[in-house]
Amino acid sequence: MRVIKFFIIVCYISAFSQKKDTLYVETFSHKINIRTSLELEEQALEVSNLNTSNDYSLRQNEVGKLAFSLNYKILGVKLGFTPGFLKNDFALKGPAEYRHYRIRIYFPKLYQQFYYYRTKGFYVKNTDDYVDGWEKGKDPYLQISNLNTLEIGGETRYYFSNKFGYRAIFSNTERQLKSKGTWMAVLKYNYSKIDKPTTDYFVLNDESYNLNFIGGYIYNLVFDKNKYLFGQITPSVGIKYVRNIHNNTGGGVEQDHLLIPNIGLRTRLGLGYTSNKFYYGVSVLINSTSYEEYANMNLVDSRVFASIHLGYRFKAFKSLEKLFNRFGL
């Protein structure tokens, strides 16, 4: 017990008390930071029904989102939605909905976020495997419009170097002055649900609690005071407690309660420009998780995320400064 307490104290002091090295990192957290981004995100579900040997390559319909972020001091808020002009081929791929909310809390070496994702409306990308004479771009895809995915959770990241400004990449409330990389450790925890209420094509109602341990390396290459290029690679291992309703070998439906492992990989690449006030950039994130065979199915859940962002920083209002100072933030 004493060893655990000592470890917690050491982590607390390291994460919250150690300030960034000002020779490597410049902070803009005292300014209000507003950011808008055009985001392209695609969730892919690869479902293999081991009873029928049918493979369904599912994709969400809506892939274009508009997001707005606001950051000040240790707090950040992000809202994302799909406006009408980004609707994506409803006639061919079916109706869809998407919602995305995120709250972030920043510390010198620790990053905390809580998020909510909800997606409704998928289509079968490999429709040509099931419909003879099907022509891409002309004929509608097989649609599973009542397939819903929900994910509510959080993520805690720890960056080991105080010379690395992770906020320069993720929120642009810092600027990396010299090239630097760091090892990072991540704990991700969430509740997720895949809900398909009808029995057409396959049955998949998956409700789970997930815990993942992620570790790896991230590097920010600084070309000059304003331009940078970064890359990240982080493999993961985890455990999934699942309540699953699925097809059984007799052609009926049954329910399982299972504890299964998973492995995954998260890679990220991006570049950007930043000045004292304006900044912009692009980035790509690929995140894939594979689950061992269970419930007579194989399941691979992947997300590809691309973003183009533009932001502006300006002096905070005095009333806002006083409010945050009152709480010691």
DSSP state of 282: E
Residue 147 and residue 7: Cα distance in Å, rounded? 44
Place of tokens 């950011």: 35
Q: Cα separation of 31 and 314, whole Å? A: 5
pLDDT digits (tens, 9 = 90+) for 9-22: 545 455 555 677 78
Tokens 């980035």 locate to 283
Is the pLDDT at 141 greater than 70? The verdict is yes
Using the predicted structure, report yes or no on whether residue 45 has a pLDDT greater than 60.
Answer: yes
Please say if the pLDDT value at position 58 is more than 60: yes
| Distance between first and last Cα of the chain | 32
Please determine, for residue 270, whether its predicted confidence score (pLDDT) is greater than 60.
yes
162 pLDDT above the threshold of 50? yes
Cα 261 to Cα 39, 210, 240: the distances in Å are: 31, 10, 6
Q: How confident is the model at residue 176 (pLDDT cuts 50, 70, 90)?
A: very high
Residue 291: its pLDDT value, please? 67
Stretch (H or E) spanning 289: strand 278-294
* Tally of domains in the chain: 1
Centre a 10 Å sphere on the Cβ of residue 251 and count the other Cβ atoms it contains.
Answer: 8
CB-CB contact of 244 with 258 (8 Å): yes
pLDDT for res 212:
93
Six-digit token string for 210: 């997930």
Query: What is the 3-state composition of the chain as percent helix, strand, coil, each rounded to the nearest 5?
Result: 10, 60, 25
Q: How many residues does the chain have?
A: 329
Is the model's pTM score more than 0.85?
Answer: no
Domain span holding position 201: 2-326
pLDDT at 187 over 70: yes
pLDDT of residue 33: 94
**What pLDDT, on the 0 to 100 scale, is given for residue 6?**
45
Six token digits for residue 113 = 């976020």
* Cα within 13 Å of Cα(298), Cβ side: 12
What distance lies between CA 178 and its chain's CA centroid? Answer: 27
Mean pLDDT of 276-303: 78
CATH number of the domain that residue 261 is part of: 2.40.128
- Residue 134 binned pLDDT confidence (cut-offs 50, 70, 90): confident
pLDDT at position 10 is 47
Helix (H, G, I), strand (E, B) or coil at 202: coil
